[in-house]
Structure 1
Amino acid sequence: MAQVSADTSLALQRIDNAQQLVDPFGREIAYLRVSVTDRCDFRCVYCMSEHMTFLPKRDLLSLEELDRLCAAFVRRGVKKLRITGGEPLVRKNIMWLFRALGRHLESGDLQELTLTTNGSQLEKYASELKAAGVERINVSLDTIDAVKFRAITRWGDLATVLRGLDAAEKAGIKIKINAVALKGVNEDEIEDLIRFAHGRGADMTLIETMPLGDIGEDRTAQYLPLSMVRAKLMDRFTLQESAFRTGGPARYVTVKETGGRLGFITPLTHNFCESCNRVRLTCTGTLFMCLGQEDAADLRAPLRASDDDTLLDTAIVEAISRKPKGHDFVIDRRTKKPSLTRHMSVTGG
């Protein structure tokens, strides 16, 4: 490692001893979502086009670099890490990163290490994830109809995902099922999805489709306001308000008839920006301070410029100082264009 000068050491000490990352609106940044790859073994109709061009592997941060970046955020007060993609479990040697990050759980500096996955690789990795300290995962599952599942994912196999859910449950990992509400696709199946999730002891979260990237589909045809979904569900269920929070954007109710929790993520009908404590790191080292804005900070350059973290820590603090108050998501019914050109798989789910 390069020799660190006295001045550099003093500067690093000042950064390390500073208070937790706080944005211009007084929100403490305690949650980092890390995309480890933009690649996925599905091509979900609301997320990607069928024929995607992915980043060349040379542009991706190494697993060691991702570990170092995560450690820098943990040192600055981040308490929750979520590993995302693309599909994170298709990244080669990904379990090395989970095991490495587990040291922050053991030290007590990190409260939670979690994962968002499509479930395709869970049967293979569930036991290793649990051993690395992953206690809870989110699984994206928009339908429990095998034919419809193939249509939504284009490439996916429902039976494989269900075996993955079984493997995760057997390993002792708590599951939350996420479903994107899609008009004319799964809107008549939402009640069944809730009963399916709650019947397995899993929480359920419904998500409005987000206008990110060209997907080869008309987003205005997909968009289903969750305010309408909730109103229909109230005809069938008793929805009791809940104070439960996971640190993410979902707002929860308890479904009296099932005893399970149901969350709503509503970036369009009711944005969740006022309490946002999250930032997103891409697999190339770009930090997005807001999912719905283009402003970003390059952390790869300072990461690679020095063996110590002085430049990196300075870049992180500067980036958080630019975190906006909120996003500008909108479904444009005139142009039918996405609010942002980048795909969700680039930023991380």
Structure 2
Amino acid sequence: MPTEQIEQSAAVPFIDPFGRAITYLRVSVTDRCDLRCVYCMSEDMHFLPKRDLLSLEELDRMCSAFIRRGVRKLRITGGEPLVRRDILQLFRGLSRHLDSGALDELTLTTNGTQLARHAADLAQCGVKRINVSLDTLDPEKFRTITRWGDLRRVMEGLDAAQAAGIAVKINTVALKGVNEEEIPQLIDWAHGRGMDLTLIEVMPLGEIEPGRIDQFLPLSLVRAQLKQRYTLDEIDDRTGGPARYVRLHETGGRLGFITPMTHNFCESCNRVRVTCTGTLYMCLGQEDAADLRTPLRASESDALLEQTIAEAITRKPRGHDFVIDRRRSRPAVGRHMSVTGG
């Protein structure tokens, strides 16, 4: 493709069949994690060989292609992204798009275990806001949920992130019979530290040992219970993700709800996901995908890569088909969340 034709294509954003511009990209940099949360992974996980993963240079090139075509928000995920060797090189490279104004936000989702040693460097790379996954404030319960995690390391990471000037949002998966009684405590704690908190329903992704019907806690029920304790003021805040927010009058903090099961968030979906192997998923809850690794490695030009992405976006569905009930013993999607990217 001639240079002038590539430059012209750069002005054309990726648009899906329903007229939604793709402005938000979530990229997994590894399927590995230093925890084994019971709703996310099996205890005996089999991880990908290194040769199957995109290199840091390939990840940068792929992200840059999306940014040229209208992506304004880039979230790095995993597995646990901060366990990827030399991951700060990727953040340093991508920060040039923040400097140029081509990218509005570079952020990540993390379990917090590696934050204490990386927070200051992430801030220097232009990371201003992060999501930290945390489902309990009880050390023993945390160890049970994560199978071997140490809550103290996460708390040290949160301290380091806030000391570096990074805004933190806590993501909490609502688990029936596990942390449902603790949700008000988590809210008060997070808001007391100036952190937003978002509650998330369990999603049917990948085979795990406990059945998800036994874990599933509808957030419609949680919300009704919270109304007995707090005043929930509706607000129009959006962060580019699927959460819908309220402000709690009593704490002054924001509380988000991500409800893929009881009320899906698909109508305004502006995002796609790419795995650490270069597989593009147009929808978290569908199996249809496109291989980006092959065009990345087939040519030094990005023309074939952009063409492959554009063709895939034309297949983006209106929404997912998540269902959790007693009649369905299999997950809606066979891959684990750690494969797609959290």
Stretches (4+) displaced over 6 A: none
Choose the corresponding residue for 1:15, options 9, 24, 29.
Answer: 9
1:15 to partner: Cα distance: 2.4
1:336 to partner: Cα distance: 2.4
- Residue equivalent to 1:65: 58
Is residue 36–residue 83 contact of structure 1 (8 Å, CA) maintained in 2? yes
Q: Does 1:191 align with 2:213?
A: no
Is residue 280–residue 291 contact of structure 1 (8 Å, CA) maintained in 2? yes
Q: Does 1:96 align with 2:84?
A: no
Please list every run of 5 or more consecutive structure 2 residues that lacks an aligned counterpart in the other structure: none
- Residue equivalent to 2:36: 43
Tell me how far apart the structure 2 counterparts of residues 162 and 336 of structure 1 sit (CA, whole Å). 36
TM-score by length of 1: 0.97
Please list every run of 5 or more consecutive structure 1 residues that lacks an aligned counterpart in the other structure: 1-6
CA displacement 1:248-281 (0-9 Å, x = unmatched): 0000000000000000000000000000000000
Is residue 98–residue 132 contact of structure 1 (8 Å, CA) maintained in 2? yes
Is residue 27–residue 276 contact of structure 1 (8 Å, CA) maintained in 2? yes
Choose the corresponding residue for 2:123, options 125, 130, 143.
Answer: 130
1:334 to partner: Cα distance: 1.7
1:42 to partner: Cα distance: 0.3
Is residue 11–residue 310 contact of structure 1 (8 Å, CA) maintained in 2? no
CA displacement 1:19-51 (0-9 Å, x = unmatched): 211100011100000000000000000000111
- Residue equivalent to 1:114: 107
- Residue equivalent to 1:182: 175
CA displacement 1:265-311 (0-9 Å, x = unmatched): 00000000000000000000000000000000101111111001110
- Residue type at the aligned position of 1:138: N
1:13 to partner: Cα distance: 3.6
- Residue equivalent to 2:315: 322
Tell me how far apart the structure 2 counterparts of residues 116 and 78 of structure 1 sit (CA, whole Å). 18
Q: Does 1:242 align with 2:235?
A: yes
Aligned alpha-carbon RMSD (Å): 0.8
Q: Does 1:310 align with 2:290?
A: no
SS of 2:31's partner is coil
Aligned length: 342
- Residue equivalent to 1:335: 328
Tell me how far apart the structure 2 counterparts of residues 186 and 340 of structure 1 sit (CA, whole Å). 25
CA displacement 1:197-230 (0-9 Å, x = unmatched): 0010000000000000011111100000000000
- Residue equivalent to 1:205: 198
Tell me how far apart the structure 2 counterparts of residues 247 and 290 of structure 1 sit (CA, whole Å). 15
- Residue equivalent to 1:286: 279
- Residue equivalent to 1:75: 68
Tell me how far apart the structure 2 counterparts of residues 342 and 160 of structure 1 sit (CA, whole Å). 28
- Residue type at the aligned position of 1:12: I
Is residue 15–residue 314 contact of structure 1 (8 Å, CA) maintained in 2? no
SS of 2:267's partner is helix
1:104 to partner: Cα distance: 0.1
Tell me how far apart the structure 2 counterparts of residues 253 and 128 of structure 1 sit (CA, whole Å). 32
- Residue type at the aligned position of 1:15: S
Tell me how far apart the structure 1 counterparts of residues 157 and 35 of structure 2 sit (CA, whole Å). 15
1:16 to partner: Cα distance: 2.2
Tell me how far apart the structure 1 counterparts of residues 181 and 187 of structure 2 sit (CA, whole Å). 12
Tell me how far apart the structure 2 counterparts of residues 169 and 266 of structure 1 sit (CA, whole Å). 28
Tell me how far apart the structure 1 counterparts of residues 336 and 305 of structure 2 sit (CA, whole Å). 26
Choose the corresponding residue for 2:134, options 135, 141, 145.
Answer: 141
- Residue equivalent to 1:173: 166
TM-score by length of 2: 0.99
- Residue type at the aligned position of 2:308: A
